[in-house]
Amino acid sequence: MSQLTDNLEKHTSLYVDAFNAGDFDTLDRFYTEEAVAVWEPGKPLTGQARREYQREFLARGPRMTAVPRQSFVTGDTALLIVDWVIETIDDAGAPERLEGVGVDVLRLGEDAVWRYAVDDPYGQG
């Protein structure tokens, strides 16, 4: 079972573990309550809309690999640049490969855990 972490270097791999396990509940805890996710370019999602989109996407059984390229930390805010690939299926059931360079902003919570405030997988697209 993947756990949240106070170690920024481990954050991406733990997120990938939860994602690949299809563990929506754990994955949801990787986000701040007011987090913004831009999983489709130009379509930011927050709150319940973000949760519903993620739950539906995970139902397809996607598999992700992700490698942090750079990280920058100032105080309780971090910026991660991450190369990622997701193998999944499209709406018609055909194999689909998604890939990009994510630009993610994380916030360190009062519980000393890093969480996504902004998750933009196509940040450099």
Q: pLDDT higher for 8 or 115? A: 115
The pLDDT, as a whole number, for residue 4 is 67
Say how many residues make up the chain.
125
- What's this model's pTM, rounded to 2 decimal places? 0.91
> Dihedral of CA 19/101/39/78: which sign?
positive
* Burial class of residue 121 (count of CB atoms within 10 Å of its CB; 0-12, 13-18, 19+): buried
How does residue 86 score in pLDDT terms, banded at 50, 70 and 90? very high
Least Cα distance to 12 among 58, 57, 68 occurs for 68
Answer yes or no: CATH 1.10.3330.10 is held by domain 8-120.
no
- Over residues 15-66, the pLDDT tens digits come to 999 999 999 999 999 999 999 999 988 999 999 999 999 999 999 999 999 9
The mean pLDDT of the chain is 92
